Amino acid sequence: MSNSQNVQDELSRRYRKTSMVVVAFLVLDVGLVVLAFFASNSIYRAGDRSIVGGLWIAILVFGLGAFVIRRTRFAAMRLTDIAADWTNMLRAGGVAAIVLIYCYPFRGAWQRVVTQLADKQ
């Protein structure tokens, strides 16, 4: 099998997995919207309107930012330049690992949130 065929096979395999992840996120999104629609009366809590407005602004900024990043960061020439310099990939991988470790949701933190929510009800 030629190298070109191996690359194409790997590309189609990864694309298929990525498509499955995206579809899973879309199904989860629709499920959460349906849950919110039918359970809105039981999960509604009055809150500060300024916080809600800030959240909507953040949602808008992140949504638009996703489009901008997609157009600029994933251009073919940009990816070729990044892949050619392995130190950037190593550094980016290190930063990603640090962020994942820092943001890891420890069980104690989850327990505190559940306890606080239970106390408020």
Q: Within 13 Å of residue 99, how many CA atoms lie on the same side as its CB?
A: 6
Confidence of residue 77 (pLDDT cuts 50, 70, 90): low
> Which position has the higher pLDDT, 21 or 7?
21
Per-residue pLDDT, averaged over 16-37, amounts to: 86
Name the pTM for this structure: 0.46
pLDDT surpasses 80 at 120: no
CA triplet 27, 29, 62: central angle to 5 degrees?
Answer: 135
> Which position has the higher pLDDT, 67 or 89?
67
pLDDT surpasses 70 at 105: no
